[in-house]
Amino acid sequence: MAKISTIGVLTSGGDAPGMNAAIRAVTRAAIYEGWKVMGIYRGYEGLINDDIIEFTSASVSNTIQRGGTILKTARSKEFMTEEGRAKAYENIKKHGIDALIVIGGNGSLAGAQILAQEYDIPCIGLPGTIDNDLYGTDYTIGYDTALNTIVECVDKIRDTATSHDRIFFVEVMGRDAGFLTQNSAIASGAEAAIIPEDMSNIDQLANFIGRGIRKSKNSSIVLVSESPKVGNGGAMYYAERVRKEYPQYDVRVTILGHLQRGGKPSAFDRIIASRMGAASITALKEGQRNVMVGISRDEIVYIPFSRAIKYAKPVAKELIDVLAVLSI
């Protein structure tokens, strides 16, 4: 393996709290090794457009507590083409970048995998997504903060639900994964969670109405995954069904949307982002390439891109059972 002297770091896809902590850790761990760090702005789009500057230790000062990403982020259609990736590689060569560290979700790591295959450049991925849907790691950067944000919002919604004897359907992010929905439902004492992993032949709405609404419990909170696999349109779909099929209930919908992405990262997210960022430099020192850094049972692990991207990460059946038992 060629000796590494310069690395590039970028954030891609949806932003997640803790990305700045990861950028900071990557930058400072690389500088500690005597390497040069190039900050790539606006993800793969910035790599194509040469939106690249050198980062120093001072570049990441006072950033660990900030949400979002100081490197900005963007989705790049051009990078999905061979011509776009060729432009990106030209800029990698122009700046003498020997290895690339990509912080993002499934699509971002898939982009790193393709680039590594086509141009034989070592790439290390950090799982930066609030969805917690990447295989091989117990937690992704941003998940814990988003979970706490959702719980805080649901706690406030419950005050109104209780005051007015209403059913609230609260739509939660997570793409095709129900981790945020299921765990925030448990943490907030919600009556039900409707997630893609639990879409069986059972009518989840009828099941919830049957067991969740009782004379002693006229208000309820139901968390619904935004996934297109859930019903035909998330929370709005289920709210409309209640209005038609159970008109005796007063129903409201709250879509939390991008509120879930913002805010200062939690201590947990800052810690795992820092550990993963430092571990990405260790991985490169060891000659590893084309792997995602993860955490399993509080230990750093390295998962090949092919496994991290390919395999599904299911919500444990135990979590579904816990909510069902505790929401009676």
Which amino acid is it at 79?
A: F
Per DSSP, 264 falls in state P
Tokens of 9: 């770091």
Q: What distance lies between CA 144 and its chain's CA centroid?
A: 10
Q: At what angle do helices 234-245 and 204-212 cross, to 10 degrees?
A: 60
Active site includes 176? Answer: no
Q: At residue 300, what are phi and psi to the nearest 5 degrees?
A: -70, 135
Among candidate residues 178, 132, 155, the one with its CA nearest the CA of residue 17: 132
The single residue of 131, 144, 198, 269 carrying the catalytic annotation is 131
**Contact between residue 273 and residue 21 where contact means Cβ atoms under 8 Å apart:** yes
What residues contact residue 55 under an 8 Å CB cut-off, 6+ apart? 9, 27, 37, 38, 39
Cβ neighbours of 83 (radius 10 Å): 10
| Residue 94: exposure state from Cβ atoms within 10 A (0-12, 13-18, ≥19) | exposed
Alpha-carbon distances of 328 from 47, 183, 189, 190, 286, rounded to whole Å: 52, 17, 10, 10, 52
Tell me the two tokens of residue 111: 């982009």
β 220-225/192-194 pair status: parallel
Distance CA 219, CA 170 (A): 13
Instruction: Spell 263-278 as b/e; 16+ CB within 10 A means b.
Output: bebbebbbebbbbbbb
The residues assigned a catalytic role are 131
